């Protein structure tokens, strides 16, 4: 965030936004490589439902927790350094899994652990993009950047076909090449916004101060439900559709990709609406939709049309809610702590995506049904609506009066 006119005029902000969004997509593509192959590994290695869920969840939790230090480092060093660094580091686990890491569950878990590095890139992009745009445009700009989460759709659409046509290593080798190309481009072209606020306090001091902000914890809860719900479905939906509805692997992966694409398209919409009517009404509306659709899906209706409508509506609501949450962060976070706040909030979102697949796998193993898991999502969404219209509304009102 910056007051420098040079940072908000001309074509350079749009170029920086485009490159940041591309970097987000490429790293998320790498981050999501294991999810479409979960059913394949289950069959080849004889995994249980719980082991399969753990396999796809490990990169999520590592990528989520890693956002905390990465966000704080971005406040200090800027996206100019952090984007190529994260992209280059992600190449190592991608190559390991592709070449040597598919022979055992242990090897996959080790590779998946370090694959989580790619998921931390979100905490780089939000403060980087924020600094290039004025306050009245940040919701849309961060929403457009957030559409880079569509990298998971690239993975969903290409990973299984590439394995079938080129072998088990093919999608990993291609992704590693793309990551390397992006790291070079980012190093040569990306620049931090002129006059951006650089954090000068020690890392632990900044993190401690950030943890005491009301916006940090409120946004953590909102994002844990909105983005966490998106991540949970994006990693577990293929298994859910295969087990619950008997779909083939390719069909389930394609339907998951449709879910992801709709959520991605809705994220900038959530930011744009927040710029115009405020993030609180947008957040309240989307969480009401999530509660209603999750309650309907808990009854396990037929996939066509009711189940499809319920899932696609949730996809749009989760995407818009994710965009609106960071429109709220852009409005309420102190300029020198945007990265640190983003790291904590992003971690909460990722952790929100880590828990549901494990819960769903456990409940299905115990009950033979996913209904209770979706009912819990509905209850959680209702509680989030209450938080939004009370504490979050009070915070935004107080900040508006303070200005």
10-33 pLDDT, tens digit each: 689 999 999 999 999 999 999 989
390 CB neighbour count, 10 Å cutoff: 10
Question: Taking the alpha carbons of 12, 13, 14, 16 in that order, is the dihedral positive or negative?
Answer: positive
Fold assignment, 5-402: Growth Hormone; Chain: A; (1.20.1250)
Q: Would you state the pLDDT for residue 403?
A: 62
108 CB neighbour count, 10 Å cutoff: 26
Q: Would you state the pLDDT for residue 5?
A: 36
CB 385 within 8 A of CB 281: no
Q: Would you state the pLDDT for residue 79?
A: 93
Say how far apart CA 322 and CA 339 lie, in whole Å. Answer: 16
Say how far apart CA 328 and CA 160 lie, in whole Å. Answer: 37
Tokens of 174: 């291609």
Is 292 exposed, middle or buried (CB count within 10 Å of its CB: 0-12, 13-18, 19+)? middle
Give the DSSP H/E element, type plus range, for residue 262. helix 249-277
Say how far apart CA 299 and CA 151 lie, in whole Å. Answer: 31
16 phi-psi bin (left φ>0, alpha ψ -120 to 50, beta other) = alpha
Residue ranges in the chain modelled with pLDDT below 70: 1-10, 403
Q: Would you state the pLDDT for residue 400?
A: 74
CB 130 within 8 A of CB 138: yes
Q: For residue 305, is the peptide bond before it cis, meaning its omega torsion is within 30 degrees of 0?
A: yes
Strands (E), 189-271: none
Say how far apart CA 351 and CA 227 lie, in whole Å. Answer: 10
Prediction pTM value: 0.81
Q: Would you state the pLDDT for residue 2?
A: 38
CB 98 within 8 A of CB 171: yes
Where exactly are the structural domains of the chain? 5-402
306 CB neighbour count, 10 Å cutoff: 15
Tokens of 1: 């965030």
Map tokens 């490589």 to a residue. Answer: 33
Phi, psi dihedral angles at 200 (to 5 degrees): -115, -15
CB 23 within 8 A of CB 121: yes
322 CB neighbour count, 10 Å cutoff: 32
How many CA atoms does the CB half-sphere of 15 hold within 13 Å?
12
Tokens of 314: 């949730």
Say how far apart CA 357 and CA 176 lie, in whole Å. Answer: 27
Map tokens 């009711």 to a residue. Answer: 306
């Amino acid at each position: 965030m910056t007051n420098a006119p040079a940072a908000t005029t001309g074509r350079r902000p749009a170029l920086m936004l485009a490159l940041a969004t591309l970097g987000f997509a490429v790293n998320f593509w790498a981050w999501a490589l294991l999810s479409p192959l979960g059913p394949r590994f289950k069959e080849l290695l004889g995994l249980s439902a719980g082991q399969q869920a753990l396999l796809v969840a490990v990169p999520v939790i590592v990528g989520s927790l890693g956002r905390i230090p990465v966000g704080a480092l971005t406040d200090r060093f800027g996206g100019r350094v952090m984007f190529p660094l994260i992209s280059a580091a992600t190449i190592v686990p991608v190559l390991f899994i592709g070449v040597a890491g598919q022979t055992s569950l242990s090897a996959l878990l080790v590779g998946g652990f370090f694959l989580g590095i790619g998921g931390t890139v979100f905490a780089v992009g939000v403060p980087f993009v924020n600094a290039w745009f004025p306050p009245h445009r940040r919701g849309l700009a961060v929403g457009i950047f957030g559409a880079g989460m569509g990298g998971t759709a690239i993975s969903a659409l290409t990973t299984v076909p590439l394995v079938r046509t080129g072998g088990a290593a093919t999608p990993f080798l291609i992704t590693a090449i793309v990551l390397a190309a992006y790291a070079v481009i980012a190093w040569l072209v990306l620049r931090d916004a002129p006059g951006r606020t650089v954090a000068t306090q020690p890392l632990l001091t900044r993190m401690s101060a950030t943890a005491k902000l009301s916006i940090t914890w409120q946004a953590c809860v909102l994002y844990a439900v909105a983005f966490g719900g998106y991540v949970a479905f994006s990693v577990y939906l293929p298994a859910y559709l295969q087990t619950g509805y008997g779909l083939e692997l390719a069909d389930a992966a394609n339907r998951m990709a449709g879910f992801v694409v709709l959520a991605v398209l809705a994220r900038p919409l959530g930011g744009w609406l927040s710029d115009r009517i405020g993030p609180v009404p947008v957040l309240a509306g989307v969480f009401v939709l999530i509660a209603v659709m999750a309650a309907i899906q808990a009854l396990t209706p037929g996939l066509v049309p009711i189940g499809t409508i319920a899932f696609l509506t949730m996809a749009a609501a989760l995407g818009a809610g994710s965009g609106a949450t960071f429109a709220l962060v852009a409005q309420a976070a102190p300029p020198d702590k945007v990265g640190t706040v983003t790291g904590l909030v992003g971690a909460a979102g990722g952790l929100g995506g880590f828990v549901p697949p494990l819960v769903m796998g456990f409940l299905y193993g115990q009950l033979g049904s996913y209904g209770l898991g979706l009912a819990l999502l509905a209850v959680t969404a209702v509680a989030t609506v209450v938080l939004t219209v009370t504490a979050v509304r009070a915070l935004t009102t107080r900040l508006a009066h303070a200005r």
